[in-house]
């Protein structure tokens, strides 16, 4: 897997290559690029770039002094896009919504359009059950305890936890891969604790959200109708917040729409890209 060294440390990433428009995919905590494994193969003609962000599922620890708050990770994502020379990209987020802070931080010059797929928004950082997890991560040894609890099938697949993020169920081998780095590395657990406890208060989050009104490029909001983590009303509210926002709701899915409805999500994404001027590259070029 390619790796790039950034100011906060190393970032691994996957790159499908090709000459098509560039799509950059964000993932949730403590996940990795495999969150999009069902969708990327359906996006023929597009160059898909998937960084493994330091949200707890990353395989290489970051620098000890790295800023891994919500704002810090957003800035790191922006640095990643700029350092790879990707030009103007379509940024696609699912679960983690912090990539929007590139807009509120005024660092969105490389973002041509946004796709927000059932992700954190407004003051829902972190969402629902993850708020309890954030409190645990503030306690010494808390992240270590969480990694052990995630080995227990009943907790791993609980509808109040990761089991509730997908109606289809996340395969154990995928979750094993997500949880492995923090299980074996104290430095990864340190990074995860920074991120999990790095959201500001609700007042600050809502103030940042107001700045999103300045983003004048196309935005697609894709929301799941049976989501347990992201409030149903946040979908239309986000679409209205962005001047060029549009909403598509997808039924029979929870937060991880790439897991539950990958084909429908890919078609929706391609339709949006084509309508907003990002035609896929032709094979015969």
Beta carbons of 163 and 156 less than 8 angstroms apart: yes
CA dist 173 and 175 (Å) reads 6
Write down the residue that tokens 């996940």 correspond to.
31
| Residue 59 pLDDT | 97
How many Å is the maximal CA-CA distance in the chain? Answer: 57
| Residue 129 pLDDT | 72
| Residue 284 pLDDT | 52
Reported as a single tens digit per residue, the pLDDT across 202-243 is 999 999 999 999 999 999 999 999 998 999 999 999 999 999
Q: Report strand pairing: 47-51 vs 89-95.
A: unpaired
Q: How far is CA 233 from the centre of its chain?
A: 20
Burial classification of residue 64, based on how many CB atoms lie within 10 Å of its CB (0-12 exposed, 13-18 middle, 19 or more buried): exposed
| pTM, full prediction | 0.96
Residue 88: how many CA atoms within 13 Å on its side-chain side?
A: 9
| Residue 285 pLDDT | 42
Write down the residue that tokens 């992201």 correspond to.
230
Q: What is the dihedral of CA 132, 134, 137, 139, to 10 degrees?
A: -70
| Residue 282 pLDDT | 82
Burial classification of residue 248, based on how many CB atoms lie within 10 Å of its CB (0-12 exposed, 13-18 middle, 19 or more buried): middle
CA dist 225 and 24 (Å) reads 25
CA dist 49 and 33 (Å) reads 9
Please report, in tens digits, the pLDDT of each residue of the chain (285 residues total).
Answer: 999 999 999 999 999 999 999 999 999 999 999 999 999 999 999 999 999 999 999 999 999 999 999 999 999 999 999 999 999 999 999 999 999 999 999 999 999 999 999 999 999 999 977 777 788 888 888 888 888 888 888 778 887 778 889 999 999 999 999 999 999 999 999 999 999 999 999 999 999 999 999 999 999 999 999 998 999 999 999 999 999 999 999 999 999 999 999 999 999 999 999 999 999 998 654
Residue 245: how many CA atoms within 13 Å on its side-chain side?
A: 21
| Residue 145 pLDDT | 85
């Amino acid at each position: 897997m390619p790796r790039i060294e950034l100011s906060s440390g190393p970032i691994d990433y996957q790159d499908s290559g090709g000459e098509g428009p560039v799509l950059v995919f964000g993932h949730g905590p403590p996940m990795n690029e495999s969150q999009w494994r069902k969708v990327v193969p359906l996006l023929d003609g597009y160059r898909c770039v998937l960084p493994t962000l330091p949200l707890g599922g990353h395989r290489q620890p970051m620098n000890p002094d790295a800023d891994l708050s919500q704002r810090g990770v957003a800035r790191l994502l922006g640095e990643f896009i700029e350092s790879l020379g990707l030009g103007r990209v379509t940024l696609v987020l699912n679960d983690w919504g912090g990539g929007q802070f590139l807009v509120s931080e005024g660092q969105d010059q490389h973002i041509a359009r946004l796709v927000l797929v059932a992700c954190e928004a407004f003051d829902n950082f972190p969402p629902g059950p993850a708020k309890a997890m954030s409190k645990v991560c503030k306690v010494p040894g808390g992240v270590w305890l969480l990694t052990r609890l995630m080995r227990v099938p009943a907790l791993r697949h609980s509808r109040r936890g990761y089991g509730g993020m997908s109606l289809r169920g996340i395969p154990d081998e995928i979750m094993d891969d997500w949880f492995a780095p923090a299980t074996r590395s104290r430095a990864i657990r340190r990074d995860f604790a920074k991120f999990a406890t790095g959201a500001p208060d609700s007042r600050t989050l809502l103030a940042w959200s107001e700045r999103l009104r300045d983003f004048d490029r196309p935005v697609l909001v894709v929301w799941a109708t049976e989501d347990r983590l992201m409030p149903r009303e946040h979908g239309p509210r986000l679409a209205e917040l962005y001047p060029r926002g549009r909403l598509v709701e997808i039924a029979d899915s929870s937060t991880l729409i790439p897991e539950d409805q990958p084909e429908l999500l890919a078609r929706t994404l391609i339709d949006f890209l084509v309508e907003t001027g990002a035609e896929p590259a032709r094979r015969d070029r």
